[in-house]
């Protein structure tokens, strides 16, 4: 059935549920499991105070800080998975596109990801990376709530 499962994770409790579901599925099927974290390629300040702090750092330094944070996040998620996993870190300002491209590059045949289930105006305004992956993915997507 499925031989390689990709799980995008942001370290949230909701994405941890997707990791656990995917780990159980991978164990049952004998499938390979890869955890993915998509890190923003450019870090932009959200508040004036953070702009002052960020002005002290180069984009390269900010990128390295982001890389370290993402590697820690992936290591924690891998430990919680309880099964052998591979990890993948990708820099991109378009998370859904990075997820779809990583699934294709790694020849994954299933993407397992979480969704907050936002609808209506909040779903429209916030956007849904899960919805975008569902729309653009050429492989099946299992959504965990």
Of 139, 35, 41, 38, whose CA–CA distance to 96 is shortest?
38
List the chain pLDDT tens, one digit each, 145 residues: 899 999 999 999 999 999 999 999 999 999 999 999 999 887 655 554 555 555 566 777 888 888 999 999 999 999 999 999 999 999 999 999 999 999 999 999 999 999 876 555 544 444 589 999 999 999 999 999 8
Number of domains in the chain: 1
What is the DSSP secondary-structure string of 36-66?
A: EEEEPSS---SSHHHHHHHTTS-HHHHHHHH
Please tell me the distance from the alpha carbon of residue 100 to that of residue 74, in angstroms, as a whole number: 18
Find the domain containing 124 and state its range.
4-144
Please tell me the distance from the alpha carbon of residue 124 to that of residue 142, in angstroms, as a whole number: 21
Of 102, 80, 82, 111, whose CA–CA distance to 2 is shortest?
111
């Amino acid at each position: 059935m499925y031989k390689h499962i990709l799980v995008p994770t942001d370290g949230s409790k909701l994405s941890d549920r997707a990791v656990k579901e995917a780990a159980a599925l991978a164990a049952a099927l004998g499938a390979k499991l890869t955890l993915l974290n998509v890190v923003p390629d450019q870090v932009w300040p959200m508040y004036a105070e953070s702009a002052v702090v960020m002005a002290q750092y180069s984009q390269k330094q900010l990128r390295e800080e982001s890389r370290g944070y993402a590697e820690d996040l992936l290591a924690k998620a891998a430990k919680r998975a309880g099964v052998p996993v591979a990890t993948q870190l990708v820099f991109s300002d378009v998370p859904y596109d990075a997820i779809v491209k990583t699934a294709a590059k790694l020849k994954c045949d299933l993407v397992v990801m979480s969704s907050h289930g936002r609808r209506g105006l909040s779903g429209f305004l916030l956007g849904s990376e899960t919805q975008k992956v569902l729309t653009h993915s050429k492989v099946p997507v299992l959504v965990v709530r």
